Amino acid sequence: MSDDKLLVVKDLTTTFATAGGDLAAVAGVSFDLERNETLGIVGESGSGKTVLSRTIMGLQPRVNTTVTGSSIIDGFEVVGASENEKRTIWGTEVAMVFQDPMTSLNPVMRIGKQIDEALRVRLGMNRKDAKARAIELLELVGIPSPVQRYNAYPGQLSGGMRQRVVIAIALACSPKLLMADEPTTGLDVTIQAQILNLLDELKERLEMSVILVTHDLGVVATRTSRIVVMYAGRIVETGTTRDVFYHHRMPYTRALLESSPKVSNKSHTRLITIPGRPPNLLNLSDGCSFAPRCKYATDQCHLVRPELQPSVEPGHSFACWNPLPVNAEATLP
Amino acid sequence: MLRYLTKRLMLLVGIVFVISVGSFYLIHLLPGNPATVILGFGATPEAKAILYKQLGLSKPIYLQYFVWLGNIMRGNLGISFISQTTVASVIRSALPIDAEIIVISQIMAFAAAIPTAMRSARKPDGILDRVLGATSFTLLSIPPYILIVVLVLFISLKLGVSATGPSAYVPFATDWITNLESLSLPAFTLATVSYVIYYRVLRSDLIATLQEEFITMARSKGISQRRIMWRHAFRPSSVALLGAASVNIGSLLAAGFVVQYLLQIPGLGYTLILAINESDFLVVQGIVLTVSVLVVAINFFFDFVINIVDPRISRE
Ligand SMILES: Nc1ncnc2c1ncn2[C@@H]1O[C@H](COP(=O)(O)OP(=O)(O)O)[C@@H](O)[C@H]1O
Ligand SMILES: [Mg+2]
């Protein structure tokens, strides 16, 4: 039943008015999300993942920003809603775990207070109950001695601990949809796995849907059911995690996979980046945005933008004029 | 935090020491015999001889300093040869006037600067922001003492207020209405000078803070705009404001002198100018010393407050 989808995004476009002209950081993105599903959004840095995930929940900048299309979270149309209307779903329906725990916590507010706030303002709890619940949440996200940590300032905690606090805040009002925007990018490798496992575990326990945003396909490999691959603000390939990993058709997806340290060929000990530079969004051609960096590109690629088209597997589509052969898996481990 | 404050305190003790040496040495910079300087030209040789002994003026200068410092520490700043009262009592009756003017002016300035800066920062380039931006920029480009003179003259002419003379001054405890009436104009002028600084400093810091990720985070919790401004944006944006206030209040003491002189209000400034005219050296010395120590104390106080407001500072 399509009505029962938790999130339906249709033709979502986010345009910033900048000094250099209008910049479409997200351009015509459509996808949807089932309840209790984990979806991955991947793409190299600058591909529009952050802008997309913020726009989905209506959290884009308030000035010089235009959003069109539609994003419906559990029946609530986010696009066009006023700040006050959106406030009614923020925290309770949808919450965000931000990328950098060094900057996403208020540096001059005790962490306990930052958790309390949501509970008191949004759920109307009294001071005492909110504190008790905040300490429970700190415990839930695996912070040792939560009673003492309640009074700590963010600066007194390590990066991993701070990200746990950010997760505790996001979970405070039991959202149905949790957006995690590169939740581990700023953290040590060992801590990264811990945080990702924590998110997995909480998702099961609290019956949430999760959108996991990352530039590293290795992060989403085992954690998501479906993946959306983004380039220059558009979806260039989408399908089940399996299809994206083993049956991808878009050369950019291949390049992303090869640049991921965990899934790439073992001989590649160093992180390989995709050759060429990300496109300038202020000056996009009419063709495929990836064409200038693509070794399979033809004239057509430079002149006409390919639309998403279905591949052989159901739900798997890609936007490419010269896709990789259907059984591209042979070249990957 | 304690370590940080101890360090600051030690620095301040050092500064106070330098100030005290300077104030002490003032007397030796003036032409003539110190006893003449202190007692005035009309002093009898007997009086001079007594003072000579009291101050140990025949001893080496560093010993003289310690004798002098010992007296100061006991609150003995000497006797004004004009009024024949102790310098301490002169200061004690004048200082509350300065304190009151400054406290009232700062309450006015903060009460006006904080809400208007908040509004401007929420809608940069809105009408309010443009008007206040242009006004404060103009006012800020005028040197404060000139602005003060202009304000005092303008307002007193408009309102028909005229200086009633220092003897008309009534302390707060005696008749607070008359007291506030006489001090509201000087406080208002100092508040205006302070307002333009506070408004601009706070506005620009708020605008910077509102770009921070933790503000988006606060937004994503679904709390009100008001709450975001007051609970999340204000505190981290107020460090520069407090720093500006710390510096500004020091200079307001001096600016207040001008106002007091214009309006004939017998605060420290008025007293100081009189004393200079009358060559009442010990009063000058006492006031210079008091004001210097006061400035240092105000600085320390604001350091302390800034530390509480932003715990990151002492950790770095
Ligand atoms: N507020 C903004 N104003 C103008 N351009 C922006 C703004 N935010 C993001 N962008 C641009 O949008 C593009 C996508 O950014 P982002 O979503 O942060 O990428 P990602 O998260 O995939 O690394 C980038 O080119 C970035 O410069
Ligand atoms: Mg990002």
Question: Mind spelling out the 3-state secondary structure of chain A?
Answer: CHHHCCEEEEEEEEEEEECCEEEEEEEEEEEEECCCCEEEEECCCCCCHHHHHHHHHCCCCCCCEEEEEEEEECCEECCCCCHHHHHCCECCCEEEECCCCCCCCCCCCCHHHHHHHHHHHHHCCCHHHHHHHHHHHHHHCCCCCHHHHCCCCHHHCCHHHHHHHHHHHHHCCCCCEEEEECCCCCCCHHHHHHHHHHHHHHHHHHCCEEEEEECCHHHHCCCCCEEEEEECCEEEEEEEHHHHHHCCCCHHHHHHHHHCCCCCCCCCCCCCCCCCCCCCCCCCCCCCCCHHHCCCCCHHHHHCCCCCEECCCCCCEECCCCCCCCCHHHHCC
Look at residue B4 and tell me whether its pLDDT is greater than 60.
Answer: yes
Residue ranges and CATH numbers for the domains of chain A are 1-82+209-264+271-288+295-333 (3.40.50.300)
Instruction: Give yes or no for residue A332 having a pLDDT over 90.
Output: no
State what percent of residues in chain B have pLDDT above 90.
42
Query: What is the position in ligand 1's atom list of the atom closest to the CA of A213?
Result: 21
* Ligand 1 pocket test, candidate residues A23, A44, A55, A57, most atoms within 8 A of CB: A23
Hey, of B205, B217, B315, which one would you mutate to test binding to chain A, going by the most A CBs within 10 A of its CB? B217
**What are the residue ranges of CATH 1.10.3720.10 in chain B?**
87-315
Whole-number percent of chain A with pLDDT over 70: 93
A178 or B61: which leads in pLDDT: A178
Cβ atoms of A256 and A44 within 8 Å: the answer is yes
Q: Over the stretch A191-214, which tens digit does the pLDDT of each residue have? A: 888 899 999 999 999 999 999 999
Q: How much distance in Å is there from the Cα of A68 to the middle of ligand 1?
A: 17
pLDDT of amino acid A267: 47
- Among the atoms of ligand 1, which is closest to the Cα of residue A48? 17
Has residue A333 got a pLDDT over 50?
no
Both tokens assigned to B292: 């210097």
Q: Token pair for residue A192?
A: 């990264």
Average pLDDT on B275-290 reads 89
Q: What is the mean pLDDT of chain B?
A: 87
pLDDT in tens, A10-57: 999 999 999 999 999 999 999 999 999 999 999 999 999 999 999 999
- Whether residue A117 is predicted with pLDDT greater than 70 in this model: the reply is yes
Question: So what's the pLDDT on residue B177?
Answer: 83
CA of A285 to the centre of ligand 1 (A): 18
Among B104, B257, B132, B262, smallest CA distance to B191 is for B104
Residues in CB range of A289: below 8 A, 6 or more apart:
A231, A232, A234, A279, A305
Q: Which of B220, B310, B311 sits opposite A90 (nearest CB)?
A: B220
Phi first, then psi: give them for residue B171, nearest 5 degrees: -65, 155
CA A187 – ligand 1 centroid, Å:
21
- Which token pair is A260? 């991921």
CATH of domain B87-315: 1.10.3720.10
Over range A131-147, report the average pLDDT.
94
Could you tell me the pTM of the whole model? 0.87
Task: Report pLDDT digits (tens) over B223-272.
Answer: 999 999 999 999 999 999 999 999 999 888 888 888 888 888 899 999 99
Least confident of A59-73, A231-245, B113-127, B149-163: B149-163
Chain B residues within an 8 Å CB radius of A165: none
- The yes-or-no verdict on residue B310 having pLDDT over 50 is yes
Ion ligand 2, residues whose Cβ is below 5 A away: A 50
Residue A240: name the closest of A333, A307, A332, A317 by CA.
A317
pLDDT, tens digit, 9 for 90 and up, residues A44-66: 999 999 999 999 999 999 999 99
Query: Could you tell me whether strands A226-231 and A38-42 are parallel, antiparallel, or unpaired per DSSP bridges?
Result: parallel
Which residues neighbour A149 within 8 Å (Cβ) at sequence distance 6 or greater?
Answer: A111, A112, A138, A143, A157, A161
| ipTM attached to this prediction | 0.90
Check residue A262 and give its pLDDT.
57
